[in-house]
Amino acid sequence: QYWRWLWGYEDTTGGEDEIFLKDGRILLGRLSGESNQQLGAKKWSAQDASLVLRGTFNNISFIEDGQEIATYEQVLRIVRRQVDLGKPAKGALFFTPEVESDAYHKPGTALGTFYQLPLKNLQKLGATKAPGEGFWELEVSQNKRLLGTVRLAESTGSIRLEPSMPADKDKLSEQDINRAQEQNIEAMLVELAPHAQKVGELSTPMQGWVALSSTRPQQVVPWQSMGMVRSGSWRGGLLWGNLGWSLQQEKVSSLIAERIVNTLRLMFPALLFSILIALPLGMAAAVKQHSALDHGVNLGAFLGISLPVHWFGLMLIHIFAVWLGWFPVSGMQTPGVESIADKIWYTVLPVTVLSIAYVGRWLRYMRASMLEVIKQDYIRTARAKGVSETRIVFVHALRNALIPVVTILALSIPTLFGGALITETVFAWPGMGSLIYEAIITSDYYVAIVGFLISATLVMAGNLIADMLYAAIDPRVRLGDG
């Protein structure tokens, strides 16, 4: 399954039908069952993996992709890529397949044979007439084990197969009993086949993948469909841009695209505000070490790191949404309202929750890095030379202090697309975090794998970006030097 998803596979579920209209339009979809019956007697021509009918046809019911069923006039050509194999041959009692199901076959390939059992053949096998009932009966055995009885009505020629019940039926469930009787019928047909009369063959009307109704000998009825033949088409996998389908019968690419946009609406402003707040405050706290500003910034950072996200989110909802009524409780926008202001209004609380957590973490990184740099010898030398404090902090210290911080910021890039599960859950925000979580819970593997693949790719991209930023920040680092 993983290889199919990664590389691709041959889709044998049947290609789309086509109708060519007089006005030049070509519609893709599926021909209705009513029109299939209406056109069934026409002379179709096999062309590769399709059946083609040319002429001028009216009142054709067709279901175009993504549309409701509609009736079309002046249809000049009809192409079918999924065809019923038809009903059993007239007078057939049973069918013996000669090929495996879900295999690819050319037009005219014999798929199996239909048989009937005339009375004279049963009589040769020793059939006896039941007294007073108008039936001829024949017991069929295999290796001295009674499989069942064949009953043929003398007046109509109809035949009924009556399989024997298993000897230990009292110990078996109803399902096991039915299975045992089905096996007895199959064994009876195998025993009767050499003595039956051939009445027809089943063959493929076009090139394609054959799906028989059963791959074992089976008793048939006049109204039974013998199966389908479908065209096949190559479906490229992930390496060809096809992410597959989810269990919700939606394209994974569509789900991911929708959720990534939602996640970016939430994560991008949260990360941006966190950087704009954390870096200047961390730098100021380091420069003014042990001051009231430093103590206050540290206290705020520890609070931001320590506050449980779910609790903090619920408190903001209770105070600002329920109590004061300033902001909505949850969601992304007011139903029926399409405005940027409304969407921003809905993002204020979740962005605040995420920003507080990120600010506390990055502020501590920035403060620690800045403290280490301003104690270096070259900073003391700059001060001794009379360089202004502003130039020392923003030119000499800041660039070097940013080097370890850049690593942390670059590795935060995956969170832009990975989402924040707890925050999304608290505020009912349909982002990537909740999508991946739901995919894991429901075993929707294609969605989960794509989500993890995106995260892993972004981690590598973050490391690459960090290396490139090192060269921009630190003049001692040069890309491509040996």
Please state the three-class secondary structure of the chain as a single string.
CHHHHHHEEEECCCCCEEEEECCCCEEEEEECHHHHHHHCCCCCEECCCCEEEEEEECCEEEEECCCCEEEECCEEEEEECEEECCCCCCCCCEEEECCCCCEEECCCCEEEEEEECCHHHHHHCCCEECCCCCEEEEEEEECCEEEEEEEEECCCCCEEEEECCCCCHHHCCHHHHHHHHHHHHHHHHHHHHHHCEEEEEEECCCCEEEEECCCCCEECCCCCCCEEEECCEEEECHHHCCCCECCCCCEHHHHHHHHHHHHHHHHHHHHHHHHHHHHHHHHHHHHCCCCHHHHHHHHHHHHHHHCCHHHHHHHHHHHHHHHCCCCCCCCCCCCCCCCHHHHHHHHHHHHHHHHHHHHHHHHHHHHHHHHHHHCCHHHHHHHHCCCCHHHHHHHHHHHHHHHHHHHHHHCCHHHHHHCCHHHHHHCCCCCHHHHHHHHHHCCCHHHHHHHHHHHHHHHHHHHHHHHHHHHHHCCCCCCCCC
For residues 27 and 73, what is the distance between their CA atoms, to the nearest angstrom?
A: 13
Amino acid at 304: G
For residues 358 and 238, what is the distance between their CA atoms, to the nearest angstrom?
A: 34
For residues 257 and 263, what is the distance between their CA atoms, to the nearest angstrom?
A: 10
Q: What is the pLDDT of residue 474?
A: 67
C-alpha angle with apex 282: 281 to 285, nearest 5 degrees? 85
Specify whether the backbone of 107 is left (phi greater than 0), alpha (psi in -120 to 50) or beta: beta
- Contact at 8 Å (CB) between 180 and 166? yes
By DSSP bridging, strand 145-153 and strand 159-163 are antiparallel
Residue 14: burial class (beta carbons within 10 Å; 0-12, 13-18, 19+)? buried
For residues 466 and 124, what is the distance between their CA atoms, to the nearest angstrom?
A: 89
For residues 135 and 18, what is the distance between their CA atoms, to the nearest angstrom?
A: 52
pLDDT in 10s for each residue of the chain, 482 residues: 566 666 666 666 667 889 999 988 999 888 888 888 888 778 888 887 888 999 999 999 998 887 888 999 999 999 988 888 888 988 888 898 988 877 888 888 999 999 988 888 888 888 888 877 788 889 989 888 889 998 888 777 788 888 988 888 888 888 888 888 888 888 888 888 888 899 999 999 888 888 888 888 888 888 888 988 888 766 666 666 667 677 776 777 778 888 888 888 888 888 888 888 888 888 888 888 888 888 888 888 888 878 887 888 888 888 888 888 888 887 777 777 777 887 888 888 888 888 888 888 888 888 888 888 888 888 888 888 888 878 888 877 777 787 777 777 777 777 666 667 778 788 888 888 888 888 888 888 778 888 888 888 888 887 888 777 777 776 666 655 54
Q: How many CB atoms lie within 10 A of CB 240?
A: 11
For residues 384 and 207, what is the distance between their CA atoms, to the nearest angstrom?
A: 88
- Contact at 8 Å (CB) between 57 and 39? yes
Measuring CA to CA, which residue among 134, 136, 115 is closest to residue 125?
Answer: 136
- Whole-number Cα distances in Å, 79 to 12, 63, 339, 469: 17, 14, 46, 58
Q: What is the pLDDT of residue 72?
A: 92
Measuring CA to CA, which residue among 82, 84, 101, 119 is closest to residue 218?
Answer: 101
- Contact at 8 Å (CB) between 285 and 295? no
For residues 91 and 114, what is the distance between their CA atoms, to the nearest angstrom?
A: 9
Measuring CA to CA, which residue among 241, 217, 231 is closest to residue 16?
Answer: 231
Amino acid at 423: T
C-alpha angle with apex 216: 210 to 220, nearest 5 degrees? 90
Q: What is the pLDDT of residue 119?
A: 86
The torsion angles phi and psi of 200, rounded to 5 degrees, stand at 170, 170
Q: What is the pLDDT of residue 78?
A: 92
Measuring CA to CA, which residue among 179, 177, 172, 118 is closest to residue 150?
Answer: 118
End-to-end CA distance of the chain: 44
Specify whether the backbone of 436 is left (phi greater than 0), alpha (psi in -120 to 50) or beta: alpha
pTM of the model: 0.52
Q: How many CB atoms lie within 10 A of CB 49?
A: 20
